[in-house]
Structure 1
Amino acid sequence: MFVDLLFGFVCALSFLPLTTGYCAYSYGRSFWLWFALGCVLPIFSFFILFALICRKQLNPGEQLLEEAKRILAAAEINRIEK
């Protein structure tokens, strides 16, 4: 019984650091750095990462860069198919 409760508690505590690490990795940042920050400062690190991602996504230069990458990827696929 105690082991089950302990396991559930550890799983619950690791949810936010894992989520923070996964989001960071998805946007090209270090998983382990953000996982560690999520363990030390769970909610604070999640909001910092969210702000960094929003700042990057709302930057017009970054939006143009992503659009250019999509256009080049589509052109490469079309070139390969021909």
Structure 2
Amino acid sequence: MFVDLLVAGIIAISILPLTTGYCAYSYGRSFWLWFALGFLLPIVSYFILFALILRQQLDHGQRLLFEAKSILAEAEEAERAERQRHE
């Protein structure tokens, strides 16, 4: 019973750091840095990351750069698939 409560507690405590790390990673930031910050400063790190992402999304140049990178990644993936199909 104690082990079950301990495991449930660890999972509950790690939800916010995992969420913070995943959000950071999906926007090109270090997962492990933000995961650690999520453990040290759980609520504060989440709001700081949210502010950084919001600032990046509101910057028109950064948003265009992010869109261009995703378009190039899709084109490279399509080219790679085309080459594999011809081999």
Matches within 5 A, 1:1-82: 1-69=1-69
Q: TM-score, normalised by structure 1?
A: 0.81
Provide, for residues 21-56 of structure 1, a one-character-per-residue CA deviation record: whole Å limited to 9, x for no partner. Answer: 011111111111000000000010000000000000
Q: Aligned to 2:61, what secondary structure does the other structure show?
A: helix
Q: Aligned to 1:32, what secondary structure does the other structure show?
A: helix
Identity %: 71
CA distance, structure 2, for counterparts of residue 55 and residue 4 of structure 1: 41
CA distance, structure 2, for counterparts of residue 69 and residue 63 of structure 1: 10
CA RMSD of aligned residues (A): 2.1
Kindly report structure 1 stretches of 4+ aligned residues shifted beyond 3 Å.
66-78
Counterpart of 2:40 in structure 1: which amino acid?
V
Q: Aligned to 1:56, what secondary structure does the other structure show?
A: helix
CA distance, structure 1, for counterparts of residue 75 and residue 35 of structure 2: 37
Structure 2: give runs of 5+ residues left out of the alignment: 83-87
CA distance, structure 2, for counterparts of residue 75 and residue 6 of structure 1: 47
Number of residue equivalences: 80
Q: TM-score, normalised by structure 2?
A: 0.77
Structure 1: give runs of 5+ residues left out of the alignment: none
